[in-house]
Amino acid sequence: MSILTKAIGTAKKVKHALKDEIDRRTPVYLSPVRRIERVRTGERVCAMTFDDGPMNLPCSPDNHGGKPLTLVLLETLEQYGGKGTFDIVGDTSANYPDEAGKHGSASWGGVSYDHYPDFNKDAWGGAVHCPELVQRILDGGHQITNHTYAHVLFGKKPLVYGARKHLNTLSEVTDDLHLLDNLLQKDFGYKMEYMRPPHYVDKIHGGFNSYDACALLGYQYMAASFDGAGWLPCATYEQEVEACWKPIEAALRADPDALCGQIIFQKDGYNMARRTPIADGLGKALEILQQYGYKVITVKELVEHYSPFEDLGTDDVLYPSVKHLYDRGYTVAFRNNKILADTPMTRGALAMLFYGRKTIERRIAIMEGRQRFRVLDVKPGHPYSGAISKALEEGALAMEGGKFRPNAPLDLETFNSFCRNVYDRTIEIHGDLTHGNVIHALARLEGLEG
């Protein structure tokens, strides 16, 4: 293993430790957009995603007769009966002026911007330049998701990409996403449903984030729970190929159900050493998954055919109630794709549960000062500001002394008042006012029997 790989591996561990600590201290909110990393299922199914393609250049080293990398990945998937999810870009050829970064570094493809499949080789990658590969992905029954048109960062990422240029506003981000979305609909009749931001940079100038961008386009946020490692350089190509499948083998040896419902990250392009180990490692990874009885399906299939949530399976007693409200457009899950059924329901969460999906643009208008919002204890950028505004406007919930108290636990009197205002009746609730119990009660008010 190279010194660079060890350094990157150490940096990743530190990053994940910091992220875990930040996540532990950061409040989690209900959200119409969920970060989908894995779903809850006992069945041996998983999804495999491929970022940054399509790529029309041959593999490196070329062990596949000059075939484009993307085509090699497709044929390998289909050889093992798998379906992939290709997180594609549009065109990086406008990301100049720029200069090539140091070979083997994080900026290998460009100092100021990313260039795919490589610096000064933009015409060999992306949906604009590889329409036949896009069509081949679709003809094979695979899924395509939005990795942005130009693969420009949404905001700053000083730790690794301090020299990178980034987009400056939410509208710039959504304009870029719309470019690729419109291209897929116009040229291929295909509507994308998921997005993964470049390098997982979520913050956007002005207090916005990638979840706001997803909400405006009707996307879910596609993350991953298992790193396929094909993007990392090693001392030798053979080590890089092994890195594509050995972690999968190790995980399944330790626990044959370890990858149930997981989303695996891979790369449809060069790694930092300008090699494509996934071309020769994918078959071995799929063979191992097949040996353990796994079926590789698209992220869309994983979410729609199994539970769409991370902590609630289809066999859970609460699942019918959650699914009933979810199918009717209610915001039942938290941003981390969990239901957290035992969490106490708050006043703000009740407003978000009921009005969340209907108030995406309202919240943005409040943040931009285009809509009046006077609630003393709720800032315009609060994740629930739009839903709270709507709940107050319709008289479903009320303030006291100009304050809404969004984080206050929901009490029975307020819940009964909400039910009378919205449904003209109350309903008996069993147990404490937790998310699970409130969801079950609202599902019955919405017509679910039992």
Burial letters 311-350, b for 16+ CB under 10 A, else e: bbbbebebbebbbbbbeeebbbbbbbbbbbbeeebbbbbb
Cα separation, 117 vs 98, whole angstroms = 15
Sequence-separated contacts (24+) of 26-29 with Cβ below 8 Å: 28/334, 28/335, 28/336, 28/338, 28/340, 29/334, 29/335, 29/349, 29/352, 29/383, 29/384
Question: Quick one: pLDDT at residue 449?
Answer: 83
Domains and CATH numbers, the chain: 31-303 (3.20.20.370), 310-445 (no CATH)
- Where are the strands (E) in 164-261, listed by range? 194-195, 203-204, 208-209, 220-222, 226-227
Question: Quick one: pLDDT at residue 230?
Answer: 80
Residues 6 or more apart in contact with residue 59 via CB below 8 angstroms: 67, 69, 72, 276, 279, 280
- What is the per-residue pLDDT across 181-219, written as a single tens digit (0 to 9) for each? 999 999 999 999 999 999 999 999 999 999 999 999 999
Cα separation, 100 vs 290, whole angstroms = 40
Q: Report in angstroms the alpha-carbon separations of 440 from 16, 115, 316, 321, 443.
A: 35, 49, 12, 5, 5
Question: Quick one: pLDDT at residue 22?
Answer: 54
Question: Quick one: pLDDT at residue 17?
Answer: 52
Global model pTM greater than 0.85 = yes
User: What is residue 370's three-state secondary structure?
Assistant: coil
Token reading at 337: 């794709």
Cα separation, 113 vs 162, whole angstroms = 11
Question: Quick one: pLDDT at residue 409?
Answer: 97
Cα separation, 288 vs 281, whole angstroms = 11
Token reading at 278: 């996934």
Q: Report in angstroms the alpha-carbon separations of 124 from 3, 119, 140, 184, 230.
A: 31, 11, 21, 18, 20
Question: Quick one: pLDDT at residue 159?
Answer: 85
Token reading at 304: 């729609």
User: What is residue 449's three-state secondary structure?
Assistant: coil
Give start and end residues of each alpha helix (H) in 225-342.
237-254, 278-291, 299-305, 319-327
Please, are residues 236 and 198 in contact by the beta-carbon 8 Å criterion? no
- What is the per-residue pLDDT across 329-357, written as a single tens digit (0 to 9) for each? 999 999 999 999 999 999 999 999 999 99
Cα separation, 282 vs 386, whole angstroms = 45
Q: What is the mean pLDDT of each run of 10 residues along the chain (450 residues)?
A: 48 51 72 98 98 98 98 98 98 97 93 97 98 98 98 94 95 98 98 98 97 98 93 92 96 98 97 96 98 98 97 97 97 98 98 96 96 96 98 97 96 97 94 97 92
Closest CA to 219 of 185, 178, 183, 187: 178
Please, are residues 57 and 67 in contact by the beta-carbon 8 Å criterion? no
Token reading at 291: 């040996």
Cα separation, 408 vs 399, whole angstroms = 12
117 phi, psi to nearest 5 deg: -80, -10
Give start and end residues of each alpha helix (H) in 292-379.
299-305, 319-327, 347-355, 360-367
Return the number of other C-beta atoms located less than 10 Å from residue 119's C-beta.
22
Residues 6 or more apart in contact with residue 366 via CB below 8 angstroms: 373, 380, 385, 386, 389
